[in-house]
Amino acid sequence: MSYVLAKSQNDDIHKAGECGGAVTSILKYLLDEEIVDGVLALSPQNDVYDATPTFITESDDLLSAAGSYHCAPTMIGDLVQKYLFDKKVAITVKPCDMRAVEELIIRHKINRDNIYLIGLNCGGTVSPVSGRKMIDLFYEADPDDVVSEEIDKGKFIIELADGSEEAVKIHDLEEEGYGRRNNCQRCDVKIPRKANIACGNWGAEDGWTFIEINDEKGQELIDGAKKAGILETKNPAQGAIDGREKVEGIMIKMAKKVQDATYPTVSEMDEWSRCISCYACRDVCPICWCFENCELNKPYFKDEQNIPPTPIAFQGVRLSHMSFSCVDCGQCDDVCPMDIPVSLIFDKLQKKYFNRTGYVAGVSDDIKPPLYSPEKTEL
């Protein structure tokens, strides 16, 4: 593991990038040298609230995808397994994306040899709906006038067309029930160290991207992009490395505080009593990959008459299949029409499993036998 500061040698990319445009430059290098068939990143559509995963095959199209989209709580793990299994792809991943990819690799649903994971550190994402509401309520701006947003030093900052900026402390927004999604507030994986590289603004100087190189493949990416003349690097000062580590530590501590405060308060049976068995939470979950073969569709569990479904025979079954691998991406909360905090319940079980085994979904190198391994150990 080693650290570099990096920035693009291409002015357009440097300008368009969130930090030093290093990520976009590396993606361009991979496309131009035909090392990958395509890149899976996010592209904004009409406004800053609707960036969507896009498969990019022409490096000219990378420019419009540059930047960080905080109001785009997307998940790419299942896209890779469903649509890109045989392709060589580079993927920009937040920690939860990376963790889902790792869990799918374990399940032989993604081939590690086919992918480059370009990690983005993540302090959290905001739901586009509550993001708009929150700008309406806490800022002097019309949500439609926002041209860009960023999260910096604990503040959610918006920029308007006339170049003016407004910032509100995330802590204050969250006190009022806005700000980052609930799962992000308790997410304790902030730097994606299973990705080939982890990029971020923590520890970076203005106009540079701080990169933690996690493995050999990551080193090859940096060396290749430099050789191609598109990336410039320098060594970060020790102070920057320490500072970054400190912020990470603080973020993790805050997340654990939220975990401790929320796990005991959730009343599962009350929550499940609102469930209408729409299966949306299962369908969106990146770890649930069985599709038509899902056990919940088998005649012995399928029960369309009974709403709410018997919790133990519905969510209990899904929990037993995959909660130990839940990456707390929050997708299930986002889609539940009954506002059930599904991810909280699954993540709580994952943490129980962690306490027994030390297994962190999508992060651990299988340090303890997961549920179905032939290992001869008891818990």
Point out which residues bind ligand SF4 (CB under 6 A): 73, 94-96, 122, 124-125, 183-184, 187, 275-281, 284-287, 326-332, 335-338, 340, 342-343, 346
* DSSP letter (8 states) at residue 53: E
| Residue 313 binding other proteins, by CB under 8 A | yes
Specify the residue, 128 or 143, whose C-beta has the smaller distance to ligand FAD: 128
Minimal CA–CA distance to 27: which of 229, 219, 200, 221? 221
Task: Give CA separation, 131 vs 50, 179, 182, 295, in Å.
Answer: 11, 7, 13, 36
Q: Tell me which residue has its CB nearest to ligand FAD.
A: 200
Contacts 24+ apart (CB under 8 A), 362-370: 362/96, 362/98, 362/99, 362/100, 362/101, 362/102, 362/103, 362/189, 362/194, 362/325, 362/327, 363/99, 363/102, 363/189, 363/193, 363/194, 366/106, 370/106, 370/324, 370/325
| Residue 121 binding ligand FAD, by CB under 6 A | yes
| Residue 371 binding other proteins, by CB under 8 A | yes
Specify the residue, 219 or 277, whose C-beta has the smaller distance to other proteins: 277
Stretch that binds other proteins, among 20-28, 120-128, 225-233, 313-321 (CB under 8 A): 313-321
Site string for ligand FAD, 15-34 (x = CB under 6 A): --xxxxxxxx----------
Stretch that binds ligand FAD, among 64-72, 130-138, 168-176, 291-299 (CB under 6 A): 64-72
Specify the residue, 138 or 301, whose C-beta has the smaller distance to other proteins: 301
Task: Give CA separation, 341 vs 54, 281, 336, in Å.
Answer: 28, 10, 8
Q: Quick check: 136 and 168 in contact, CB under 8 A?
A: no
Stretch that binds other proteins, among 39-47, 157-165, 183-191, 318-326 (CB under 8 A): 318-326
Give the type of residue at 199. Answer: C
Interface residues toward ligand FAD, by CB under 6 A: 17-24, 41-42, 65-70, 72, 74, 92, 94, 120-123, 125, 151, 199-202, 209
